[in-house]
């Protein structure tokens, strides 16, 4: 006996309230169909759970005409056939074969530019179906090969951190309601959140602030894996990681699986924190962060994790405390490490410009290109370094009026005088170094 198609059986079950009736009253057909369309179904081979009224009606009339056979899905006779003109099909296929890396959009633009088709006549779906029929919908070569991916976990905590940003709720600020962004750093081996904070932006400066707190609390990771976005690719963040000995790694575009553990934590965070918090009760950004840190330290870090053999993230992290890289001597200079470095030319009057302001640096640097040490939070130049990172002196905001009363040097010292000064006593740059370090310690 011939087996009945499974889809036909499903369709018949949907039509049950109709086909079981011997006779339908006037208007009753549409009423029942409307009721059936409002139900949820486990549709075979589909993620949808509802059916349209026209679909159910078509099935009913097919059943009236051909019985159960009328409910068997029919294969389209034009499947695989393109309705495009033969010359257009040939142009599309030739364009793809000439350069397999051409996208559908590029092929569409090429045919419009060369006059093969008129503008906005050729649809992207038509091109895709034609390429798919001829086995050209994927790029050839290494880009089309299936890439092997494997789940992994580092052996020790502190080996790899992941960084990412999650959009958060709006919070009151002095300038009105602003969206908050959650910037987080997670340890791979322990799933511990090295630090996480809501910020009013997702800029490089926001990320650097979270990184600074993370290394103060949890030491230095060997690698930091982040997105490929502009904020993570900023020269300032790359410079900070280089000075801290952190290998900064960028995920490939459109490959979020590179930070799968952090993405999974984001789902947990949405379900357990964001869904439970009443945003109307948040007074400001600091209030939101206080709630965040309480949840992370008291709940998330203290909850056993299925991926850690039942250990909590904090307990797993503490197992490797002896292997964690500490800041060591860098701790004393951490503020200087997180300063920004900007290249500038020193003018003849011993000044440099930054963000529309002028700063005075040691006069001996006039005519040289130096690295300004900038406090990014106040946009103030605090010092000057050479290309090797050695501090050359202190920087002060230009006081043009005060300079009217200062005594100017009337002549340049000779080479012999300069050599003698460098051997017998501190010069102006050495004095500036003392001033700079004194200001840092204050």
Distances (CA, A) of 93 to 99, 162, 214, 396: 10, 43, 53, 66
CA dihedral (279, 285, 291, 292) positive or negative? positive
Q: Which pLDDT band, with edges at 50, 70 and 90, does 2 fall under? A: low
User: Could you report the per-residue pLDDT of 186-200, keeping only the tens digit for each?
Assistant: 999 999 999 999 999
How many CA atoms does the CB half-sphere of 228 hold within 13 Å? 7
* Domain limits, CATH 3.30.420.10, in the chain: 160-323
* Predicted pLDDT at 82: 64
- Compare 12 and 296 and report the one with higher pLDDT: 296
The 10 Å Cβ neighbour count of residue 88 is: 19
Residue where the block lists tokens 């009217």: 404
Sheet of 396-397, strand order: 351-354, 357-360, 396-397
Q: Which pLDDT band, with edges at 50, 70 and 90, does 141 fall under? A: very low
| 29 CA to centre of own chain | 53
Token output for 289: 């962060």
The 10 Å Cβ neighbour count of residue 232 is: 21
Residue range 160-323, CATH number: 3.30.420.10
* Predicted pLDDT at 333: 86
Pick the CATH number of 86-143 from 3.30.70, 1.10.3470, 1.10.10, 3.30.2020: 1.10.10
* Domain limits, CATH 1.10.10, in the chain: 86-143
* Predicted pLDDT at 246: 92
Strand 223-226 to 247-250 pairing: parallel
Q: Are 421 and 429 in contact (CB under 8 A)?
A: no
User: Could you report the per-residue pLDDT of 99-110, keeping only the tens digit for each?
Assistant: 887 888 888 888
Phi then psi for 414, rounded to 5 degrees?
Answer: -75, 170
Model pTM?
0.58
How far apart are the C-alpha atoms of 403 and 278, rounded to whole Å? 57
* Predicted pLDDT at 253: 56
Q: Are 430 and 438 in contact (CB under 8 A)?
A: no
* Predicted pLDDT at 143: 44
- Please say if the pLDDT value at position 77 is more than 80: no
Q: Are 382 and 375 in contact (CB under 8 A)?
A: yes
How far apart are the C-alpha atoms of 209 and 183, rounded to whole Å? 9
Phi then psi for 280, rounded to 5 degrees?
Answer: -70, -15
How far apart are the C-alpha atoms of 107 and 130, rounded to whole Å? 12
- Please say if the pLDDT value at position 159 is more than 90: yes
User: Could you report the per-residue pLDDT of 358-413, keeping only the tens digit for each?
Assistant: 888 888 899 999 988 888 888 888 888 888 788 888 888 888 777 777 666 554 55
Sheet of 193-199, strand order: 193-199, 176-187, 160-173, 223-226, 247-250
């Amino acid at each position: 006996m011939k087996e009945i198609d499974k889809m036909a059986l499903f369709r018949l079950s949907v039509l049950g309230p109709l086909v079981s009736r011997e006779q339908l009253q006037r208007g009753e057909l549409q009423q029942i169909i409307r009721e059936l369309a409002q139900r949820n179904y486990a549709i075979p081979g589909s993620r949808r759970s509802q059916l349209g009224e026209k679909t159910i009606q078509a099935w009913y009339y097919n059943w009236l005409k051909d019985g159960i056979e009328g409910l068997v899905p029919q294969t389209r006779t034009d499947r695989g056939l393109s309705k495009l003109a033969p010359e257009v099909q040939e142009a599309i296929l030739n364009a793809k074969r000439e350069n397999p890396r051409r996208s559908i959009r590029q092929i569409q633009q090429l045919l419009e530019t060369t006059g093969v088709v008129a503008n906005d006549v050729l649809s992207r779906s038509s091109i895709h179906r034609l390429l798919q029929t001829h086995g050209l919908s994927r790029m050839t070569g290494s880009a089309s090969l299936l890439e092997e991916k494997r789940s992994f976990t580092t052996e020790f905590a502190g080996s790899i951190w992941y960084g990412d940003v999650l959009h958060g709720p709006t919070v009151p600020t002095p300038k009105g309601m602003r969206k908050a962004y959650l910037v987080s750093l997670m340890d791979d081996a322990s799933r511990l959140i090295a630090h996480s904070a809501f910020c009013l932006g997702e800029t490089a400066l926001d990320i650097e602030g979270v990184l600074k707190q993370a290394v103060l609390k949890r030491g230095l990771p060997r690698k930091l894996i982040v997105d490929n976005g502009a904020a993570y690719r900023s020269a300032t963040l790359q410079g900070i990681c280089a000075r801290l000995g952190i290998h900064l790694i960028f995920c490939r575009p459109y490959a979020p699986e590179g930070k799968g553990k952090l993405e999974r934590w984001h789902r947990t965070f949405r379900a357990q924190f964001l869904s439970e918090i009443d945003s109307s009760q948040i007074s400001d950004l600091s209030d939101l962060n206080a709630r965040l840190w309480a949840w992370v330290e008291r709940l998330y870090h203290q909850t056993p994790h299925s991926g850690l053999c039942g250990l909590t993230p904090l307990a797993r992290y503490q197992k490797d405390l002896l292997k964690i890289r500490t800041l060591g001597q860098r701790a004393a200079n951490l503020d200087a490490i997180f300063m920004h470095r900007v290249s500038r030319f020193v003018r003849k009057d011993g000044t440099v410009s930054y963000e529309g302001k002028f700063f005075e640096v040691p006069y001996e640097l006039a005519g040289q290109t130096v690295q300004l040490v900038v406090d990014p939070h106040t946009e103030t130049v605090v010092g000057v370094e050479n290309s090797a990172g050695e501090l050359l002196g202190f920087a002060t905001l230009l006081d043009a009026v005060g300079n009217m009363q200062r005594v100017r040097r009337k002549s340049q010292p000779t080479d012999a005088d300069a050599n003698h000064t460098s051997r017998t006593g501190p010069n102006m740059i050495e004095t500036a170094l003392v001033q700079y370090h004194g200001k840092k310690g204050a």
